């Protein structure tokens, strides 16, 4: 469980440092949007999403972004598996359900 906490901390740190605007309020950054939507009960916290979907054998998280697609919010998680292959997961931020998982180009 400590490994998961380290990964979650690293991801949250990344989201805190991210400066890329996302669709929503004009001047909001990813972490601002995520906090606003979590506080409003519109999406699940990233920690909850990872507890439901992350398995240690999946490897290491490289990047997490909050994205909007077809009017819905998704966490896009890029990671390297144990063999060093790059993967991308798209998880519905409201329900926590995996929408898509595929090799990352």
Per-residue pLDDT 10s for the chain (105 aa) are 445 444 544 555 455 444 333 445 555 677 888 899 999 999 999 999 999 998 887 899 999 999 999 999 999 999 999 999 999 999 999 999 999 999 998
HSE-up (13 A, CA, CB side) for residue 2: 0
What is the predicted pLDDT for the residue at 33? 86
Q: Are 21 and 28 in contact (CB under 8 A)?
A: yes
Query: Which CATH number among 3.90.600.10, 3.10.450.40, 3.40.50.300, 1.10.510.10 corresponds to the domain 2-103?
Result: 3.10.450.40
Residues 52, 104: Cα–Cα separation, whole Å: 21
H or E element that contains 80: strand 72-80
Residues 13, 1: Cα–Cα separation, whole Å: 18
What is the predicted pLDDT for the residue at 3? 53
The residue ranges of every structural domain in the chain are: 2-103
Residues 59, 17: Cα–Cα separation, whole Å: 22
What is the predicted pLDDT for the residue at 56? 80
């Amino acid at each position: 469980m400590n490994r998961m906490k380290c990964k979650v901390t690293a991801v949250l740190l990344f989201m805190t440092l991210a400066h890329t605007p996302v669709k929503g309020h004009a001047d909001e950054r990813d972490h601002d949007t995520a906090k606003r939507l979590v506080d409003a009960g519109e999406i699940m916290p990233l920690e909850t999403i990872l507890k439901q979907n992350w398995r240690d054998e999946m490897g290491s998280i490289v990047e997490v972004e909050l994205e909007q697609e077809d009017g819905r919010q998704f966490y896009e998680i890029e990671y390297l598996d144990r063999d060093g292959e790059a993967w991308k997961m798209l998880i519905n931020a409201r329900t926590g359900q995996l929408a898509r998982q595929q090799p990352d180009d």
